[in-house]
Structure 1
Amino acid sequence: MHIPAEDQAARPIDHWFASYSADHRNDTNQRIHVFAVPLILWSVIALLWCIPVPVDSGFRAGLWAGLACFAAWMFYFRASRPIGFGMLAVFVAMLWTSFWIERLQGTRFLLGLAIVVFVLAWIAQFVGHSKLFEGKKPSFFTDLRYLLIGPAWVLSKLYRRIGLRW
């Protein structure tokens, strides 16, 4: 991604959001993203939750999900402290939800639910980007880091709506 010289002073997160927003101008596509992106994020966390941990390791279910959330959180926190703290809350809520579903219904149920949510949310994403609405390919086709930017972009929309600066 090329950053113009006059914009070099802006924070990197501002450039990420500006570029992501350029690929998401259609109102319907934006509404789809507000629902589908968090569902995709949760489903990935839930899928990682279902990966078994070594039996005698002393670790519990959710280890891989927790490690992935921590790594992603470091990316967000370095990009923007307010976004980092918000994403920490999102991760805790999604990890807790995965824990709760797994404890009540079992790992097999959590895995099946996560797969269904993942597939349906991605279908919604591609419908939003189709010629019916946005007419542009998803941002992650140009740079995989946009898979991390999407959840933060949705959070920034919430921040803007409630008057918080990110």
Structure 2
Amino acid sequence: MTKLEQLLSQYAAYHLNHKNIVTHFVGIPLIVFSIICLTARAGVMFSGIEITLALILLVVTIFYYLSLDKIFGLIMLIVFAVAYPFAYMIAQWSMGAWLGASIGIFVLGWVIQFIGHFYEKKKPAFMDDLVGLAIGPLFVLAEMVFMLGFRKDLEQRMLEQARKQRALMDSKIVHQASVH
């Protein structure tokens, strides 16, 4: 199993309910965009170009995604390249408008996420492993690619592993409940 399959399977174990996955199509992009907005305001000029904290985070994230999968990494590069100018524009607003919009988007994204986890009846993956915060956007991209009919072999392996992991998680919960 590749590192990508392992990470996606681990994340998918918390996301097997279709309603939960659908909420993630909205919630995760909102959260990611809000983080880009919040970090696009902090920057320094270097040779006439503003290097923002958002750019640094995006570059690091893209390198991480590319190390896991070239295709997904390139698609995320395109997504971030489209999102960044909008986030940068918001970062130029007045302090109150920028913070209000960025934090509002962030909170809305998390509310949508937690609604999805209500349907799933599972806590978010990041509560057990912080890597889930980085894998969430990649999971949403992978799910979209799968829905479009591509990379079905990866989807099958991911789901098979995720169901096994979910069964283990559920059996531990049942075991802990019976002990108490």
Shorter-chain TM-score tier? 0.7 to 0.9
In the alignment, is residue 153 of structure 1 matched against residue 139 of structure 2?
yes
Name the % identity: 32
Q: How does 1:54-65 map to 2 (within 5 A)?
A: 54=44, 60=50, 63-65=52-54
5+ residue gaps, structure 2, are 155-180
Structure 1 segments of 4+ aligned residues over 2 angstroms from their partners: 53-60, 99-103, 105-111, 161-166
- The separation in 2 between residues aligned to 1:120 and 1:45, in whole angstroms, is 15
1:50–1:111 Cα contact (<8 Å) kept: no
> CA 1:86–1:54 in structure 2 vs 1: closer, same or farther (change >3 Å)?
closer
Kept after mapping to 2: 8 A contact 1:36/1:122: yes
- Answering whether residue 64 of structure 2 is matched by residue 75 of structure 1, we say yes
Structure with the higher fraction of residues in strand conformation: 2
**Unmatched segments (≥5 aa) in structure 1:** 1-9
- Partners of 1:28 and 1:114 lie apart in 2 by 26
- 1:102–1:54 Cα change, 3 Å: closer
TM-score by length of 1: 0.82
Residue in structure 2 matching 1:100, options 89, 98, 106: 89
Change (3 A) 1:58 1:120: same
Q: Rg: which structure is higher?
A: 2
Offset of 1:107 from its aligned partner?
Answer: 5.4
Q: Which has the higher contact order (CA 8 A, sep 6+)?
A: 2
